[in-house]
Amino acid sequence: MTRRVALAVNPTAGRGRGAHSGAVAAARLAADGVDVVPITGAHAAQVRANAAQALADGADTLVVVGGDGMVHLGVNLVAGTGHTLGIIAAGTGNDIARGLGLRIGDPDGAARDVVAAVEADAVREIDAVRCTLPASDQPADPSASQSASQSAGPSAEPAPDRVSWFAGVLGAGFDALVNERANGWRWPRGDRRYDLAILRELPVLRARDYDLDLDGRPWQVRAVMVVVANGPAYGGGMQICPDARMDDGLLDVLVVAPLSRAAFLRIYPRVYAGTHLSDPRVSVRRARRVRVAAAGIVAYADGERLGPLPLTAEAVPRALRVLAPRG
Give the mean model confidence (pLDDT) for residues 100-128: 92
Q: How far is CA 310 from the centre of its chain?
A: 17
Residue 307 forms beta bridges with which residues? 299
CATH of 4-121, one of 1.10.357.10, 3.30.390.10, 3.30.499.10, 3.40.50.10330: 3.40.50.10330
pLDDT of residue 148: 37
pLDDT of residue 14: 79
Phi, psi of 249 (to 5 degrees): 75, 10
pLDDT of residue 157: 65
191 confidence band (pLDDT: 50, 70, 90) = low
pLDDT of residue 147: 37
Q: What percent of the chain has pLDDT over 90?
A: 72
| Rounded Cα gap, residues 161 and 175, in angstroms | 25
| Rounded Cα gap, residues 306 and 131, in angstroms | 9
| Rounded Cα gap, residues 53 and 97, in angstroms | 25
Secondary structure of the chain in HEC code, one letter for each residue: CCCEEEEEECCCHHHHCHHHHHHHHHHHHHHCCCEEEEECCCCHHHHHHHHHHHHHCCCCEEEEEECHHHHHHHHHHHCCCCCEEEEEECCCCCHHHHHCCCCECCHHHHHHHHHHHHHHCCEEEEEEEEEEECCCCCCCCHHHHHHHHHHHCCCCCCCCCEEEEECCEEECCHHHHHHHHHHCCCCCCCHHHHHHHHHHHHHHCCCEEEEEEECCEEEEEEECEEEEECCCCECCCECCCCCCCCCCCCEEEEEECCCCHHHHHHHHHHHHCCHHHHCCCEEEEEECEEEEECCCCEEEECCEEEEECCEEEEEEEEEEEEECCCC
Between helix 44-56 and helix 68-78 the angle, nearest 10°, is 40
Residue 291 forms beta bridges with which residues? 213, 312
pLDDT of residue 18: 87
Give the pairing of strands 61-66 and 123-133. unpaired
pLDDT of residue 9: 94
Identical fold, 4-121 and 129-317: no
At residue 272, does pLDDT exceed 50?
Answer: yes
pLDDT of residue 73: 97
**Quick one: 270 exposed, middle or buried, by C-beta within 10 A (0-12, 13-18, 19+)?**
middle
Q: What kind of fold does domain 129-317 have according to CATH? A: Tumour Suppressor Smad4 (2.60.200)
pLDDT of residue 325: 79
Radius of gyration (Cα) for the chain, nearest Å? 20
pLDDT of residue 149: 38
Of 197 and 45, more confident = 45
Q: Where are the domains of the chain?
A: 4-121, 129-317
At residue 146, does pLDDT exceed 50?
Answer: no
